[in-house]
Chains A and B, each alone.
Chain A
């Protein structure tokens, strides 16, 4: 699936993003499932909320990491996350 730049992006209702102290990382939790996230994936998923759209996520992360040109990598990750059902653009 391809992320729609016009629609807001949020975590799917059956998924939970959680910081794990023992592992020192964010994990994504769902029925009988667990995904251990690297830092960039966790940064993006944390922003999949509050009516944020693709451009909001890109702007926030480029500011946070004083960087530019992050959009292609962010789109790639979001497409994968959509395919896996981690995030949704449905209302």
Chain B
């Protein structure tokens, strides 16, 4: 059963609030012949998960997830052992520094040669209670727009095939954006609706520590969000969008969808910032939450200014995003000037809220990437309850924004209309960031 608002070519739907709420919390109606998330686990035995990974090496995303399931992690003042058992692995690539085989051997978790076998654990039917897809890092080609073609969609579709063949579906987590192709992103979300399984996705940024630890109440009269981060296009920009979106979606009326996007660099970028005083105020407000503003050699601090930022970050990129309800998001990638993720938002009464979404990043600052702790905990809750702890529509939208940002840059910093990004949704009532 396909969403009636979509056609054969998976034209992106406009999900209304009512439709979204229906899927998030309403009565579960699965495709014919489907049972809904019945556990594979026997009574009194822990639920099981399979991790489907591109590669497992020190500090690869998959390593962070696998180890948290196998070894546990610090959570709310204890070393928490997940009540889910990692039962099987599929790993796409085995580089020289592979850790998958060592983990498999030490913890007696089999690595299967295919996704289907990992999910069925060598049998004929789905034999796990949750699927975790970590398709980040690894040797994969790039397309002409510079997007790295991680096999998230392929991994997901092979998972869905097992669900269909088994007549049963279980919760799925997809790390980072859904795909580099919008139609594939939509198809993934549609599959989760068609087969009625909980689908959680995205970045660790929305769930990590915030400094200061601020919550945006639901229905906040917010008018503009600004995020500042670092990293590559089609890479960390996605984390930046998720940083801003987990705040923006809590505005009055919820998320309305995105109408247009333009990526800018160089003079065009900085002229836009200089001319838009309210934007500049938010930009510098976000920077004031950074712990990594670059200073000239020999100095500990340096006042942020556009000339200095331009000097430090000559390849800076700004993404100007117009939402359908008039809300604005502006995201900056300032490589060479910052090395953290910060946010500032203006309420309609002029008040500015700002914070850093804190990433204790190894190896320079820590030995563990513990921002994965809250993400893994959200995955646990999703699989244990069968309900996503936050809507996948957030990541559907940020995936689409990421793709549109790439497209705008590829088109020579052109402003692009984005009618396909009319993804309207409401956030979960409780924000899920790390605070205890």
A joins B in a complex? no
The residues of A with any CB-CB pair to B shorter than 8 Å are none
